[in-house]
């Protein structure tokens, strides 16, 4: 890797001051260090955040909402009783990230700001990889793991953070801190879709870091369901997180967010509409899955994701309602 | 006595490995070492016009080596003299080494590597071996054919006409990455008139020959020390010769020790893989199920240079029919040049490919005939004395049928199959769209001839040496490398038992060519079988010497024996005993690739795998694996069991998760372990390993070699289990979720 300047910060204030242009924040390092070793990212300065005490911990409860600080390890999220009982969508997804060793190191912030796994990006061709004669390498090349939504655009990779998906479903908000102070945005507003290699996939301002994520009070039911290739040490192929509010037996409000289908966590308004005012059954859940797939435009090799999308939405909805998805 | 109860020696270097004190090559102390790196081609085929060195970089800080700096022959030779160490003007594959750079530190090296731009003139590239055979793009010789091995027995073509049923299937097996824990690494130091090489390798004497040829110096001026090596699986058979040559060229140019340690991504992109194979199999059967005629086409993608392709092809051709009897067989096996990086040795060495075809093809035959595939196998399995297509008779005590029966019994195969059939019909796990969870159980037979084939084993002329010390201990001197498989432990145990000394009185270490004779490469499951038998032979000479000097009583008590050895040494006896491999029968010198008595013995195996498939998400879980192995005497049960576990896991990965994606230039697109998915512990079920080794038969007196065998069964067994679960027969590996979910997956294209 390229030599870099190392700065250790002990407060958020110090960290923000140290994060000058060309710097990268280091928490667990499970994504950053690998990118540095492969020269995908070569920061001039690395700012070590693990000694910033105000960046680690979980507070709050199910009734008032929970705040998870950005430096909190995924293993700590798994150890949280309140996350496990009130936000099973987040707990389940966290439990399926990578391996125990990586969950002991990786932080919430690092997970949300990890870089895409697209192998063209990781080989140095950028997020919008094109050949010198303008051919899109992912559109024309091996696109089995690429997006099936927003494929009219040029960003065809899939968003890598599996934790962003349940957090968006749960309506979580992110607090960012930077040279201009603090601001709070929806988690989905952390991301944008680049149109060229010079653009970032993140909607943060220069020098900003994530301070915390706040999940609102738990009212309804939530769940996640992943389809995977490997049972560990891998990212999901396709995953859905759902968060439902009920009026009696029927769904009064729904959020359905999907992983692995678009360059951002994909909020399926179609599935949300389809399940609204319905009682959750395998049939209604399956209809929601079908609705979600309606606008999909797969590339040459990833049509299989369309049927996986339907399945994971069906199963996440059934699971959230406490229905076993295999009981018709 | 159960297998686990046996008195087993501890792994020789276990505690040093555990505590991290056993050095690997990159742990060697830096003594002013420079770091070496490789400028590589980004195109698949073309002419290298020149290298453009950026004027913005200060080139006085580093040294650069090109083909023009090579004092000897610019060649890396396994068999053909076709592969240059550094590009000789024609680029034939992505990642081909064009030049070398050494720098005082890694960062400067990286900057220098980025400051070189190859100016090239691209030529059309060919990645498909069938396209390549048309010869429009010339890569090797006149026809791009590295080797063709025809094997014929009887009159297959005529015989098909009289068969009741003829079944023809096509199969494809993919490339596979070795994914050894330690990447390739080498250190070269100038020593006297020559050079000293230390590094990660399987075959130290290959490096002696290769470096001497490259530098144009006598082999006696090249000293090679194999370090503890972090896995090889065949990937460190031929490639280290290339890397050692590069390190030596750089050391010679900069006058300092140079270490070259590949990063994971460079290692995956630049080194050899398992040969992708296309296999067409046609079988004619009688109504009763007897195999009457067989026709097989085997095509291996050898990549841009021959490397080990002829040897892999030979083994594939010799094992193509599997452990089955058939009087009329016609085999055409070809290794073809393409513009992919060269493919090379990998555990199984051509066998996994042909066994996959055979064992999935037999199921298709059984389906066509409407018979039980297990019975079809049983009816056609060879017995001792039956002839293989190339003429060898199956040796005494070699009973594939016994292995099959043991596997059926231990896995409760027939019971489980009936249970699963019933369960699949009335699955409890239902959705409105039908059953989604399916199970399947599958079985596969496999076999592996031990050692190099007879012609090559004879030409290696392996020698081992035992040397006694003044303390009465015995040093075992062989060229066999330790790369996790337990070479040092197993060879020491063979020596201890053969001599009659305690295990602690046997001294053995990583091979250093200044000290050990050439006992051949550490490949081909030959370490305990071939080299072990030479140790046994040398040991009997040592015992005979002691018996003559100290009497018969001395050799039956380890303490008295040790004292007698010490006394002989102090009395001035040389106490060095050697043994050299000499085949008992005459090997036909003209028949290099399919000698009639190809291997001294065959190890046999049967794998039973059970899978659980979610047909909606495509997730395939292997829930149970039984591995029954007959590899003659088992030297160390614990190590042998570990070999079976490791081989089975590698087989599961090859079958299900390991999908190698190529880039536009024919190089590896997913050259990282997060994109190239090897199985994790969570993907591997309990593996039941069982050895047939405690029978009263001559066969079980000596080890036959087990290193490669276990890799060969899981692929076809899993494919057969998936076929039972889904009703669709996988003809290609890996079997991916995409393929399960819909036929739109890339495997169908």
Spell out the CATH class of B25-124+178-270: alpha beta
CATH architecture of the domain covering B399-450+599-742? 2-Layer Sandwich (3.30)
Q: Which domain holds residue A67?
A: 53-113+159-215
Cβ of B432 and A304 within 8 Å?
no
C-alpha to C-alpha distance for B723 and B620, rounded to whole angstroms? 12
Asked if the structure places residue A178 within a domain, the reply is: yes
Residue B420: both structure tokens together: 């699963």
C-alpha to C-alpha distance for A242 and A49, rounded to whole angstroms? 32
Q: In the predicted model, what is the mean pLDDT of residues B643-654?
A: 98
- Report pLDDT digits (tens) over B183-211: 999 999 999 999 999 999 999 999 999 99
Statement to judge: residues A180 and A295 lie in one domain:
no
Strand bridging mode B620-630 / B687-691: parallel
C-alpha to C-alpha distance for B708 and B687, rounded to whole angstroms? 17
Asked if the structure places residue A151 within a domain, the reply is: no
Statement to judge: residues A172 and A197 lie in one domain:
yes
Q: In the predicted model, what is the mean pLDDT of residues B305-311?
A: 98
Give the number of other CB atoms < 10 A from CB of residue A175.
Answer: 16
Q: With beta carbons under 8 A apart, name residues in chain A contacting B110.
A: 2, 39
Residue B135: both structure tokens together: 């010869």
C-alpha to C-alpha distance for B93 and B96, rounded to whole angstroms? 6
- Report pLDDT digits (tens) over B402-426: 999 999 999 999 999 999 999 888 7
**Residue B685: pLDDT band with limits 50, 70, 90:** very high
Closest CA to B719 of B346, B361, B317: B361
CATH of the domain at A200: 3.30.465.10
**Residue B437: pLDDT band with limits 50, 70, 90:** confident
In this chain, the answer to whether the domains covering B25-124+178-270 and B399-450+599-742 adopt an identical fold is: no
Statement to judge: residues A21 and A72 lie in one domain:
no
Cβ burial B478-512 (10 Å sphere, 16+ → b, else e): bbbbbbbbbbbbbbbbbbbebbbbebebbbbbbbb
Residues near B20 by Cβ (< 8 Å), separated by ≥ 6?
A: none
Q: In the predicted model, what is the mean pLDDT of residues B656-676?
A: 93
Give the number of other CB atoms < 10 A from CB of residue B291.
Answer: 22
Instruction: Specify the pTM.
Output: 0.95
Cβ of A286 and B433 within 8 Å?
yes
The side-by-side arrangement of strands in the sheet containing B116-122 is B90-91, B46-53, B116-122
Cβ of A328 and B430 within 8 Å?
yes
The side-by-side arrangement of strands in the sheet containing B463-468 is B506-507, B474-477, B463-468, B576-580
Nearest to A119 among B429, B616, B675 (CB): B675
Q: In the predicted model, what is the mean pLDDT of residues A300-323?
A: 93
Asked if the structure places residue A127 within a domain, the reply is: no
Statement to judge: residues A240 and A270 lie in one domain:
yes
Q: Helix H segments across B551-621? A: 558-570
Statement to judge: residues A226 and A81 lie in one domain:
no
Residue B9: both structure tokens together: 């020696």
pLDDT given at position A203: 97
Residues near B43 by Cβ (< 8 Å), separated by ≥ 6?
A: B91, B94, B120, B122, B125, B665
Asked if the structure places residue A142 within a domain, the reply is: no
Asked if the structure places residue A103 within a domain, the reply is: yes
pLDDT given at position B591: 83
Task: Sketch the domain layout of chain B as residue ranges.
Answer: 25-124+178-270, 129-176+273-352, 399-450+599-742, 453-580
pLDDT given at position B153: 97
Give CATH for domain B453-580.
3.30.365.10
pLDDT given at position B585: 63
> Of all residues in chain B, what percent carry a pLDDT higher than 90?
90
Give the number of other CB atoms < 10 A from CB of residue A308.
Answer: 31
The side-by-side arrangement of strands in the sheet containing B329-337 is B145-153, B329-337, B291-303, B277-285, B165-173
CA A311 to chain centre: 19
Statement to judge: residues A237 and A311 lie in one domain:
yes
> At CA B514, angle to CA B511 and CA B515, rounded to 5?
60
C-alpha to C-alpha distance for B113 and A125, rounded to whole angstroms? 18
> Of all residues in chain A, what percent carry a pLDDT higher than 90?
92
**Residue A326: pLDDT band with limits 50, 70, 90:** low
Statement to judge: residues A26 and A59 lie in one domain:
no
Cβ of B742 and A2 within 8 Å?
no
Helix, strand, coil distribution of chain A in percent, nearest 5? 30, 25, 45
> At CA A317, angle to CA A312 and CA A322, rounded to 5?
125
- Surface of A (25-64) touching B: CB under 8 A: 34, 37-39
CB A64, CB A25: distance < 8 Å:
no
Q: Which residue has the tokens 């699986």?
A: B233
C-alpha to C-alpha distance for B147 and B133, rounded to whole angstroms? 12
C-alpha to C-alpha distance for B288 and B484, rounded to whole angstroms? 47
DSSP per-residue letters across B637-664: HHHHHHHHHHHHHHHHHHHHT--PPB-T
**Residue B744: pLDDT band with limits 50, 70, 90:** very low
Statement to judge: residues A179 and A265 lie in one domain:
no
Statement to judge: residues A97 and A16 lie in one domain:
no
Q: With beta carbons under 8 A apart, name residues in chain A contacting B431.
A: 282, 286, 314, 325-326, 328
CB B250, CB B102: distance < 8 Å:
yes
- Report pLDDT digits (tens) over B23-69: 999 999 989 999 999 999 999 999 999 999 999 999 999 999 999 99
pLDDT given at position B4: 47
- Report pLDDT digits (tens) over B205-229: 999 999 999 999 999 999 999 999 9
- Report pLDDT digits (tens) over A291-304: 999 999 999 999 99
Asked if the structure places residue A318 within a domain, the reply is: yes
CA B411 to chain centre: 27
CB B565, CB B543: distance < 8 Å:
no
Give the number of other CB atoms < 10 A from CB of residue B325.
Answer: 19
Residue B508: both structure tokens together: 């053995």
pLDDT given at position B583: 76
Q: In the predicted model, what is the mean pLDDT of residues B134-149?
A: 96
Cβ of B663 and A327 within 8 Å?
no
pLDDT averaged over chain B? Answer: 94
pLDDT averaged over chain A? Answer: 95
**Residue B674: pLDDT band with limits 50, 70, 90:** confident
For A221-276, where are the E strands, in sequence order? 221-227, 238-247, 250-259, 266-267
Residue A156: both structure tokens together: 């065809």
Statement to judge: residues A67 and A183 lie in one domain:
yes
Chain A: closest CA distance from residue B740 (Å): 9
pLDDT given at position B2: 44
Closest CA to B479 of B185, B206, B702, B232: B206
Please provide residue B41's backbone torsions phi and psi, each rounded to the nearest 5 degrees: -75, 140
Cβ of A122 and B672 within 8 Å?
yes
Element (H, E) at A314: helix A304-320
Statement to judge: residues A314 and A232 lie in one domain:
yes
**Residue B177: pLDDT band with limits 50, 70, 90:** very high
C-alpha to C-alpha distance for A225 and B640, rounded to whole angstroms? 40
pLDDT given at position A179: 96
Spell out the CATH class of B129-176+273-352: alpha beta
Strand bridging mode A58-61 / B463-468: unpaired
CATH of the domain at A6: 3.30.43.10
- Report pLDDT digits (tens) over B592-633: 899 989 999 999 999 999 999 998 899 999 999 999 999 999
Q: In the predicted model, what is the mean pLDDT of residues A257-275?
A: 98
Cβ of B429 and A326 within 8 Å?
yes
pLDDT given at position A327: 45
3-state secondary structure of A259: strand
A124 Cβ under 8 Å from any chain B Cβ: no
Q: With beta carbons under 8 A apart, name residues in chain A contacting B432.
A: 282-283, 286, 328
Task: Indicate whether B429 pLDDT > 80.
Answer: no
Q: Could you report the predicted ipTM of this complex, rounded to two decimals? A: 0.92
**Residue B436: pLDDT band with limits 50, 70, 90:** confident
> Of all residues in chain B, what percent carry a pLDDT higher than 70?
96
Please provide residue B387's backbone torsions phi and psi, each rounded to the nearest 5 degrees: -95, 140
C-alpha to C-alpha distance for B124 and B136, rounded to whole angstroms? 9
Chain B: closest CA distance from residue A130 (Å): 12
3-state secondary structure of B648: helix
Enumerate chain B positions whose Cβ falls within 8 A of a Cβ in A: 107, 110, 263, 265, 428-433, 436-437, 614, 616-619, 621, 657, 661-664, 669-672, 674-675, 677, 679-683, 736-738, 741-742, 744-746, 749
Closest CA to A50 of A114, A107, A4, A115: A107
pLDDT given at position B590: 72
Asked if the structure places residue A140 within a domain, the reply is: no
Statement to judge: residues A14 and A74 lie in one domain:
no
Number of domains comprising chain A: 3
- Report pLDDT digits (tens) over A135-170: 999 999 999 999 999 999 999 999 999 999 999 999
3-state secondary structure of A29: coil
> At CA B541, angle to CA B537 and CA B544, rounded to 5?
135
A116 Cβ under 8 Å from any chain B Cβ: no
Task: Indicate whether B749 pLDDT > 50.
Answer: no
Residues near B657 by Cβ (< 8 Å), separated by ≥ 6?
A: A229, A230, B677, B678, B679, B683, B734
Task: Indicate whether B743 pLDDT > 80.
Answer: no
The side-by-side arrangement of strands in the sheet containing B437-449 is B437-449, B602-614, B620-630, B687-691
């Amino acid at each position: 890797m390229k030599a870099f300047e190392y700065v250790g910060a002990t407060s958020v204030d110090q960290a923000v001051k140290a994060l000058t242009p060309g710097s990268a924040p280091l928490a667990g390092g499970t994504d950053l260090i690998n990118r540095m070793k492969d020269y995908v990212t070569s920061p001039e300065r690395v700012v070590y955040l693990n000694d910033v005490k105000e960046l680690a911990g979980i507070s709050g409860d199910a009734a008032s909402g929970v705040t998870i600080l950005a430096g909190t390890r995924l293993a700590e999220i798994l150890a949280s009783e309140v996350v496990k009982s009130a936000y099973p969508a987040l707990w389940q997804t966290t439990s399926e990230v990578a391996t125990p060793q990586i969950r002991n190191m990786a932080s919430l912030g690092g997970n949300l700001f990890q870089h895409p796994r697209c192998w063209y990006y990781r080989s140095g061709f950028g997020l919008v990889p094109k050949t010198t004669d303008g051919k899109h390498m992912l559109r024309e090349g091996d696109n089995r793991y690429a997006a099936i939504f927003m494929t009219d655009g040029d960003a065809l990779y899939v968003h890598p953070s599996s934790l962003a998906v349940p957090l968006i479903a749960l309506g979580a908000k992110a607090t960012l801190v930077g040279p201009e102070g603090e601001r709070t945005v929806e988690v989905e507003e952390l991301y944008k879709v680049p149109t060229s290699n010079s653009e970032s996939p993140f909607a943060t301002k220069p020098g900003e870091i994530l301070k915390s994520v706040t999940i609102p009070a738990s009212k309804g039911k939530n769940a996640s369901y992943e389809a995977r290739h490997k049972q560990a040490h891998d990212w999901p192929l396709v995953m859905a997180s759902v968060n439902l509010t009920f009026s009696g037996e029927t769904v009064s409000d729904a959020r359905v967010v999907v992983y692995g289908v678009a360059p951002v966590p994909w909020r399926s308004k179609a599935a949300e509409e389809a399940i609204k005012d319905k009682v959750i059954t395998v049939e209604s859940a399956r209809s929601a899955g079908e609705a979600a797939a309606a606008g999909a435009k797969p590339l040459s090799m990833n049509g299989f994701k369309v049927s996986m999308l339907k399945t994971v939405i069906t199963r996440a909805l059934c699971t959230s309602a406490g229905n076993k998805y295999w009981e018709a | 006595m159960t297998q686990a109860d046996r008195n087993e020696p501890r792994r020789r270097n276990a505690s040093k490995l555990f505590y991290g004190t056993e050095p690997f090559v990159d742990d060697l102390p830096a003594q002013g070492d420079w770091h070496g790196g490789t400028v590589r081609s980004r195109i698949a085929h073309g002419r290298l016009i020149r290298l453009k060195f950026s004027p913005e970089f200060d080139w006085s800080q580093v040294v650069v080596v090109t083909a023009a700096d090579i004092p000897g022959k610019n060649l890396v030779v396994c068999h053909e003299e076709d592969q240059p160490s550094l590009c000789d003007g024609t680029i034939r594959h992505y990642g081909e080494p064009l030049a070398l750079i050494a720098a005082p530190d890694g960062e400067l090296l990286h900057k220098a590597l980025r400051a070189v731009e190859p100016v090239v003139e691209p030529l059309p590239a060919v990645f498909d071996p069938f396209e390549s055979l048309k010869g429009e793009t010339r890569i090797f010789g006149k026809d791009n054919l590295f080797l063709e091995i025809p094997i014929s027995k009887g009159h297959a073509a005529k015989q098909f006409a009289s068969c009741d049923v003829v079944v023809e299937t096509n199969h494809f097996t993919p490339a596979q990455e070795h994914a050894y824990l330690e990447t390739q690494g080498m250190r070269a130091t100038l020593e006297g008139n020559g050079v000293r090489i230390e590094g990660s390798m399987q075959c130290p004497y290959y490096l002696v020959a290769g470096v001497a040829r490259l530098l144009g110096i006598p082999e006696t001026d090249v000293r090679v020390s194999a370090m503890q090596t972090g896995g090889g699986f065949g990937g460190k058979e031929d490639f280290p010769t290339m890397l050692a040559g590069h390190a030596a060229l750089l050391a010679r140019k900069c006058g300092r020790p140079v270490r070259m340690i590949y990063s994971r991504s460079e290692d995956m992109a630049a080194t050899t893989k398992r040969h992708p194979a296309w296999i067409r199999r046609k079988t004619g059967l009688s109504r009763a199920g007897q195999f009457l005629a067989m026709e097989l086409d085997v095509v291996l993608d050898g990549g841009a240079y021959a490397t080990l392709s002829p040897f892999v092809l030979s083994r594939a051709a010799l094992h193509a029919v599997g452990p089955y009897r058939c009087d009329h067989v016609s085999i055409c096996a070809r290794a073809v040049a393409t513009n992919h990086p060269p493919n090379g040795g990998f555990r199984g060495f051509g066998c996994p490919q042909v066994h996959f075809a055979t064992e999935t093809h037999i199921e298709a035959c059984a389906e066509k005939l409407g018979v039980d595939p297990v019975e079809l196998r049983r009816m056609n399995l060879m017995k001792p004395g039956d002839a293989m297509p190339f003429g060898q008779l199956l040796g005494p005590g070699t009973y594939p049928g016994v292995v099959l029966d043991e596997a059926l019994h231990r896995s409760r195969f027939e019971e489980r199959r009936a249970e699963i059939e019933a369960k699949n019909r009335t699955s409890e796990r239902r959705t409105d769209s039908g059953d989604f969870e399916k199970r399947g159980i599958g079985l596969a037979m496999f076999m592996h001839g031990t050692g190099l084939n007879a012609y090559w084993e004879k030409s290696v002329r392996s020698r081992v040496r035992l040397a006694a010390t003044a303390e009465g201990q015995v040093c075992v001197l062989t060229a066999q490398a330790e790369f996790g498989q337990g070479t040092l432990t197993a060879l020491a145990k063979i020596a201890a038992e053969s001599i009659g000394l305690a295990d602690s009185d046997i001294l053995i270490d990583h091979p250093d060519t200044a000290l050990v004779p050439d006992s051949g490469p550490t490949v081909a499951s030959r370490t305990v079988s071939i080299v072990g038998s030479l140790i046994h032979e040398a040991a009997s000479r040592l015992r005979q010497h002691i018996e003559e000097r100290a009497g018969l009583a001395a050799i039956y008590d380890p303490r008295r024996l040790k004292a007698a050895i010490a006394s002989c040494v102090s009395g001035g006896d040389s106490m060095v005993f050697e043994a050299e491999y000499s085949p008992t029968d005459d090997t036909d010198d003209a028949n290099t690739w399919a000698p009639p008595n190809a291997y001294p013995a065959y190890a046999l195996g049967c794998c039973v795998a059970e899978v659980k498939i979610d047909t909606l998400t495509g997730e395939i879980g292997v829930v149970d694996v039984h591995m029954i192995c007959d590899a003659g005497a088992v030297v160390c049960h614990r190590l042998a069991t570990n070999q079976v576990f490791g081989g089975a896991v590698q087989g599961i990965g090859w079958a299900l998760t390991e999908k190698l994606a190529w880039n536009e230039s024919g190089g590896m697109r997913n050259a990282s372990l997060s994109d190239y998915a090897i199985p994790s512990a969570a993907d591997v079920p309990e593996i039941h390993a069982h050895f047939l080794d405690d029978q009263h038969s001559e066969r079980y007196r000596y080890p036959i070699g087990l290193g490669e065998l276990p890799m060969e069964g899981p692929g076809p067994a899993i494919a057969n289990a998936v076929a039972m679960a889904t009703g669709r027969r996988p003809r290609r590996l890996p079997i991916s979720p995409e393929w399960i979910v819909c036929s739109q997956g890339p495997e169908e294209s």
